[in-house]
Amino acid sequence: MQGLLRLSRAIDWLNAQVGKVVIWLIMASTAISALNALVRYIFNTSSNAFLEVQWYLFAWSFLVAAGFTLLNREHVRIDVLNSRLPKKAQIWIDIVGFAAFLTPVCLLVLYYTVPMTMQKFASGEMSGNPGGLIRWPVWLALPIGFTLLLLQGWSELIKRIAFLTGDGPDPTVKPGEKTAEEELAEVLRQRAEADARNANTAATAPQAR
């Protein structure tokens, strides 16, 4: 299990680094969009290459950051019922989801997109728009993005199994978020400090009179 946990930490580190890079892709897409709007407004002209590179960058940032999003537990979840279940039941639901749903879907997407991407690269297919870009770079985002998502799904699966076996912490707590035990300890600490202040106030009150 310790070896699997080291693998999980390596995957987490990889997707965390990818998340830092994606920020720059979004910034570049925004800058190109603003530049394209200015050129169209000032010079009354535009370029399909500028338009296409915008959605190339957006596709890369959206797809490649999927693993980073899963790492930080930011995907849309419906927790109306799940949040009311015991912790172990929640963990088992996640395990089934990662093993029986996420993994097969990612493998299926990779099965179809890897040969298609290789075909686009070999053929040198270009955009059908005048002045457009070559197509394979945007197709490449699919296998890379789903590979990172698949790896992160396996990382989350390892962390949940480790939690059930007592070899790891609660993986459902977001980074920086306090567990229920930590929140309870914080409440008790604040009450103890308040009681101490009240006791000091009561002790000094007779002296003041």
**Alpha carbon distance 54, 32 (integer Å):** 7
Average of per-residue pLDDT values in the chain: 82
From the centroid of its chain, how far is CA 119? 30
Closest CA to 64 of 154, 150, 146, 152: 146
At residue 175, the pLDDT reads: 56
**Alpha carbon distance 19, 66 (integer Å):** 9
At residue 155, the pLDDT reads: 92
Highest mean pLDDT among 23-32, 106-115, 186-195: 106-115
Cβ proximity of 180 and 90 under 8 Å: no
**Is the four-CA dihedral 62, 68, 74, 78 of positive or negative sign?**
positive
Cβ proximity of 103 and 153 under 8 Å: yes
Q: Does position 108 have pLDDT exceeding 90, yes or no?
A: yes
Instruction: Look up tokens 């169209």; give the residue.
Output: 40
Alpha helices in 44-135 (DSSP H): 48-64, 66-71, 87-97, 103-123
87 or 147, greater pLDDT: 147
Kindly indicate the confidence band of residue 102, based on its pLDDT and cuts at 50, 70 and 90: very high
Cβ proximity of 29 and 58 under 8 Å: yes
pLDDT in tens, 143-181: 999 999 999 999 999 999 988 888 878 777 765 555 555
Closest CA to 18 of 173, 149, 154, 106: 149
pLDDT in tens, 117-130: 999 899 888 877 77
Cβ proximity of 125 and 135 under 8 Å: yes
Burial 44-82 (b: 16+ CB within 10 A, else e): eeeeebbbbbbebbbbbbbbbbbbbbbbbeeeeeeeeee
127 or 113, greater pLDDT: 113
Average pLDDT, integer, range 110-121: 92
At residue 86, the pLDDT reads: 83
